[in-house]
């Protein structure tokens, strides 16, 4: 199981938006240069973040920025915005276990509750971390570099 790079790219983008909002217009090209990915990827994620109500994007070269306080933007919000995982479907089962096999016909029922608990634990942890935490950590690291 692996969460796609869209999640960490989105966190990187949001961190750049906050860090550089007073100095630069936050465009897809600007974000792409920091993240070192194609601007098309950035635009796709910007669209997802906007649809989730986390950012606003001004047409043309107006730039992008967060529209909620950083303390209110959790990793779970970002995860749900950019990952194409429906509720309670983090883990996928193979489609056709053998119904004649005692393991095959029962494995889904046996694992469902356990895997749901794992997903809920992961989501609780994601909900406990905010973009404000990331900005604080970045400021601490930058302060130590000076």
Alpha-carbon gap, residue 41 to 55, rounded angstroms: 16
Q: How many domains does the chain have?
A: 1
Residue 84 counted as domain residue:
yes
Task: Tell me the residue range of the domain where 120 lies.
Answer: 5-141
Query: Residue range 66-79: average pLDDT?
Result: 96
Residue 33 counted as domain residue:
yes
Alpha-carbon gap, residue 15 to 8, rounded angstroms: 10
Alpha-carbon gap, residue 58 to 21, rounded angstroms: 13
Residue 146 counted as domain residue:
no
Residue 37 counted as domain residue:
yes
The residue written with tokens 């043309």 in the block is 60
Residue 35 counted as domain residue:
yes
Residue 76 counted as domain residue:
yes
Amino acid 122: pLDDT: 92
pLDDT bin (cut points 50, 70, 90) of residue 91 is: confident
User: Which CATH number do you get for residue 41?
Assistant: 1.10.10.10
Residue 109 counted as domain residue:
yes
Residue 112 counted as domain residue:
yes
Alpha-carbon gap, residue 8 to 16, rounded angstroms: 12
- Give, in order, the Cα–Cα distances in Å from 116 to each of 3, 91, 112, 120, 124: 16, 8, 6, 6, 12
Residue 60 has pLDDT above 80, yes or no: no
Instruction: Provide the strand spans (E) within 2-143.
Output: 55-58, 63-66
Query: Residue range 15-29: average pLDDT?
Result: 95
Residue 36 has pLDDT above 90, yes or no: yes
């Amino acid at each position: 199981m692996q969460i796609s790079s869209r999640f960490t790219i989105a966190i990187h983008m949001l961190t750049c938006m906050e860090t550089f909002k007073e100095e630069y217009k936050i465009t897809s090209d600007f974000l792409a240069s920091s993240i070192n990915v194609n601007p098309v990827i950035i635009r796709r994620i910007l669209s997802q973040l906007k649809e989730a109500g986390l950012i606003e994007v001004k047409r043309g070269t107006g730039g992008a920025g967060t529209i909620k306080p950083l303390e209110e933007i959790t990793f779970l919000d970002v995860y749900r915005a950019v990952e194409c995982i429906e509720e309670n479907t983090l883990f996928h089962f193979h489609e056709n276990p053998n119904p004649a096999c005692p393991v095959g016909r029962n494995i889904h029922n046996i694992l469902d509750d356990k895997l749901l608990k794992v997903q809920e634990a992961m989501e609780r942890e994601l909900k406990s971390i905010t973009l404000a935490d990331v900005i604080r950590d970045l400021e601490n690291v930058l302060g130590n570099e000076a």
